[in-house]
Chains A and B, each alone.
Chain A
Amino acid sequence: MVDEAILEMRSITKEFPGVKALSGVDLVVRRGDVHAICGENGAGKSTLMNVLSGVYPHGTYEGDIVYDGQVCSFGSIADSERVGIAIIHQELALSPYLTLAENVFLGNERAKRGWISWNRTENEAVAYLQRVGLHDNPATKVIDIGVGKQQLVEIAKALAKDVKLLILDEPTAALNDDDSAHLLELIGDLRAHGVTCILISHKLNEIKKVADRVTIIRDGRTIETLEREEISEERIIRGMVGRDLTSRYPDHTPRIGPELLRIEDWTVHHPLDRGRVVVDRANLKVHEGEIVGIAGLMGAGRTELAMSVFGRSWGVDISGTVYKRGQPINVRTVQAAVRNGLAYATEDRKQYGLNLIDDIARNISAAGLGKLARAGWVDENREHVVAERYRRQLNIKTPSVSSIVGKLSGGNQQKVVLSKWMYTDPEVLILDEPTRGIDVGAKYEIYTIINQLADEGKGIIVISSELPELLGICDRIYTLSEGVITADVARADATPEHLMHYMTEVREEDHV
């Protein structure tokens, strides 16, 4: 192993409208290392990698990238690939109906004057596939192999481009244990062959296993870089969460009543990979007037748990029972779930929450339209009166409730989503990332609304990636790791380190 830097990123700063995603990040990666990057969701890891690989072209960020001793200014992904940097994203970039061989050389075809040489394609593909430990027929279509193998095809594809620096973004997030172990082995093997790896992962045990160094990023800044001998899970967790908890949360004294909702033995399988358990025998409950948090890292199964409970909107082979006030209730369809007093405000309001091309009033009434209708006819005047009421109550900043929702800011869109579900008058509200992508002022308003809803006796379940947020507003927090509820922590006992410990707890390890 040569002790020199293959890559140096110097005080990288990247701003998006209204947000500073990176402020002066430094990163030094030594040649031949496996270099892990850790940080909470939204800390800036992916942004940093996008800067490095040219997704954000030179000029849209500040700072320098020195690669192989040269200052680089990549204008596109193609530029960074040319010098041997390849990035493998969480969502795989394979073409499902093409063969393994075709995918290995996608965009890098073995061709002469535009005519593909199929013999060379196949022969060389076999060689690259074997290097990553894949012995499948190169004529197999990508759609016919599992996600684990697809990940390997991605790596073979990178190798075919003569990669020197391989960036892996959460490579094991979608893999089962065997596939993960295999992948980690492969990463070690690539290191032996002189390929440098940058590994972004939430799985601290994996990092401990393969990483030579770890850089921790928090709030868009480099916190520290740990050497091999310093790496331990506790040490990394401390770096990831160690921020001061300034009070950005309204005061709230909970008035907790009897049990309202109980979910028992809830198990959900992945719709595309039925063998994979995404939520594993989860048990949780929420009382009247209680705000319960669900903490978990990306891929832990938080949204999957919530959506499967809400009318089986996600997943297959779902089993388990939902009780309301001790009585089992039917949540098989969204209609039934809504009828039984459940509401789910999605984490992805643009995709799943709103009809962006319609106006505010009609979005607010969308889930509770029955309350506005007599014999199928909608009372539009009342609809507008209702929308006006929520506009005032939630302070939705818009000139009129007839404005198109797509033109509102994120915080105001979120308030429309909340209004929609508040109008159905639910007993239990599941709020999935209720403050994602909205500014601090609007966040405070949303927290206030959540507190008010709890004070009305509703049960609130908040899913969030931001630990301070959960610690700031919840009365009780469940931690979720790989589909398993690993702890049930009262607010008084919860610290970020404590929660992060349970959030990164892995099934086969001994501290259950």
Chain B
Amino acid sequence: MSATATNAPQTDHPTPRPEGALRATLSYLAGQLRQLGLFIALIAIVILLQGMTHGVTLSPRNVSNLVVQNSYILILAIGMVMVIIAGHIDLSVGSVVAVVGALAGVLNNKLDIPWLPTILLCLAAGALIGAWQGFWIAYFKIPAFIVTLGGMLAFRGLAQILLKNTQISPFDDTFRKIGSGFLPDLGGGTSFLEPLTMILAVLSVLALVVVGVGARRGRVRNGLATEPLLWFVLKTAFMVALILVIAWQLASYRGTPIVLVILGVLVVAYSAVMANTVFGRQVYAIGGNLRAAELSGVNARRVSFMLFVNMGVLAALAGLVFTAQLNLAGPSAGDGFELDAIAAVFIGGAAVTGGIGTVGGAIVGGLIIGILNNGMTILGVGTEWQEFIKGLVLLAAVAFDVFNKRRAARSA
């Protein structure tokens, strides 16, 4: 998240012309409103639930659980937001989670293959699945909706075939750690705060500040407009505080979940890919205007194909994490995950028509869903009401978007 936040080139304040300046500032604020609003909504929900649950929501144990239990949806949301920005969709990821879990069960439990080869084979299987679907979508021009709807059915079936309609359990201990393990406790389990977590937190904070300041210097050196210094300082300070608070809570419990490390690396890496690489640009370009991108020399078919390969790998990773957490591969694993991931992406501000969206937004969207789920569970709200409320939240988020755009169009 931090990578997009600091590198986003969306500052415009140098304007000499007065009426242009006003308009630019207004559109700048309108653009910020969406991202800020999302973040504020997340914080408001956290505070609300913190009050309603009498402090349980932000307790060390629950913060740790929140990360662990939402990790697979967040991993899926990263791949999904890229697919959706390109103007596609992937309905099959829930079933891919199931089939990869089943494969892991067969390899690790039935065939006694060690954890590392199991993981690598499963990721390769995910890539293969993605390549299969990507081939039909990119080179055969069959709409992604159809191809992945087919995949959703086919891979669910394949999972049941692999499992022979039973469940596979248990998995070896090392394998299970990628779902529910923690980084080693340097304090030997007795310290007030787990030291490694705090060290990692301080390192992330340093990285955040160094990268942020570096990017800002680079812009200044090239004579480019920068965001106001005060805003930059406030934003960075807020992120630093947030990381430290979360780390504090985690360190007060059992330390850093391994899946948080995986997730953190993925978020930073994919944010950077989408914001700073040629590939990322091409994804936005084909989603924004496919024909214009092709006529600018973008190999749109290859980009779409790669996106689905990537989605397959991430879905496989989500499947591994989920299976490891449950210590069980079951035929109904991952049921409905695709919808949670898609909802996260749209709550996070992506456009249904493609071309708009960020990895950071999708993560915040996923966290909003996760925290609502978690809070309502703590409060004893039934799953039926949870689903109902999630649906309304999705609609409200997108309605807010549409409303915002209309207003921006009117004022322009």
Contacts and interface: CB of A to CB of B under 8 A. Distances in A.
Interface of A: 310-311, 313, 334-335, 337-338, 344, 346, 351-359, 361-362, 365-367, 369-370, 373, 376-378, 380-382, 384-385, 388, 398-400, 402-404, 407, 420
A51 to B, nearest CB: 28
Given A366-B285, A369-B278, A377-B277, A358 B295 contact: no
A157 B21 CA distance: 54
Given A313-B294, A369-B282, A376-B277, 18 more contacts: A351-B289, A351-B292, A355-B292, A361-B9, A366-B293, A367-B297, A369-B281, A373-B277, A380-B7, A384-B9, A384-B219, A385-B223, A385-B224, A388-B223, A399-B21, A399-B23, A402-B11, A402-B12
Contact of B291 (A351, A362, A370, A402): A351
Contacts of B10: 359, 402
Contact of A385 (B14, B222, B298): B222
A352 B219 contact: no
B225 interface: yes
A400 B14 CA distance: 8
Contacts of A344: 295
A381 B220 CA distance: 9
B218 interface: yes
A399 B15 contact: yes
A352 B291 contact: yes
Contacts of B180: none
Given A366-B285, A369-B281, A399-B23, A381 B218 contact: yes
B109 interface: no
B277 A399 contact: no
Nearest 5 Cβ contacts at the A-B interface:
A400-B12, A355-B288, A399-B20, A399-B24, A367-B296
Contacts of A420: 296
B165 interface: no
Given A399-B23, A400-B15, A404-B27, A376 B297 contact: no
Contacts of B7: 380
A215 B282 CA distance: 50
Given A354-B289, A403-B24, A407-B412, A381 B299 contact: no
A388 B9 CA distance: 14
B297 A380 contact: no
Interface in B268-305: 276-279, 281-282, 284-285, 288-289, 291-299
B345 to A, nearest CB: 17
12 contacts: A310-B295, A313-B295, A334-B297, A356-B288, A357-B351, A361-B9, A362-B281, A369-B278, A376-B278, A384-B219, A384-B222, A403-B12
A352 B23 CA distance: 27
A80 B294 CA distance: 42
Given A369-B278, A378-B276, A407-B412, A354 B9 contact: no
Interface centre among B20, B224, B225 (most CB of A within 10 A): B224
B348 interface: no
Contacts, number: 116
B277 A378 contact: yes
Contacts of B355: 355, 357-358
A352 B9 contact: no
Contacts of A373: 277-278
Nearest to B11: A402
Contacts of B297: 311, 334-335, 337-338, 367
B282 to A, nearest CB: 8
B222 A334 contact: no
B286 to A, nearest CB: 9
A399 B222 CA distance: 18
Contact of A334 (B24, B27, B223, B296): B296
A366 B296 contact: yes
Interface in B201-243: 218-219, 221-225
A462 to B, nearest CB: 18
B17 interface: yes
Nearest to B224: A384
Nearest to A381: B222
B356 interface: yes
B295 A376 contact: no
Nearest to B14: A400
Given A346-B295, A377-B277, A404-B27, A358 B284 contact: yes
B279 A376 contact: yes
A428 B356 CA distance: 33
A151 B278 CA distance: 46
A337 B285 CA distance: 19
Nearest to B16: A399
Nearest to B222: A381
A339 B109 CA distance: 53
A417 to B, nearest CB: 9
Contacts of A380: 7, 9, 276
Contacts of A334: 294-297
B54 to A, nearest CB: 45
Nearest to B295: A352
A344 B221 CA distance: 34
Contacts of B20: 398-399
A357 B295 contact: no
Nearest to B31: A404
Nearest to B355: A357
Contacts of A366: 281, 285, 292-293, 296, 298
A382 B222 contact: yes
B285 A355 contact: yes
Given A369-B278, A376-B278, A355 B15 contact: no
A458 B9 CA distance: 33
A355 B293 contact: yes
A421 to B, nearest CB: 9
B289 A356 contact: yes
A348 to B, nearest CB: 9
Contacts of A365: 281
Contacts of B356: 357
A483 B292 CA distance: 25
A398 B20 CA distance: 7
A42 to B, nearest CB: 24
A377 B15 CA distance: 29
Given A334-B296, A355-B293, A400 B278 contact: no
Nearest to A361: B9
Contacts of A354: 289, 292
Contact of B292 (A352, A359, A381, A399): A352
Contacts of A370: 278
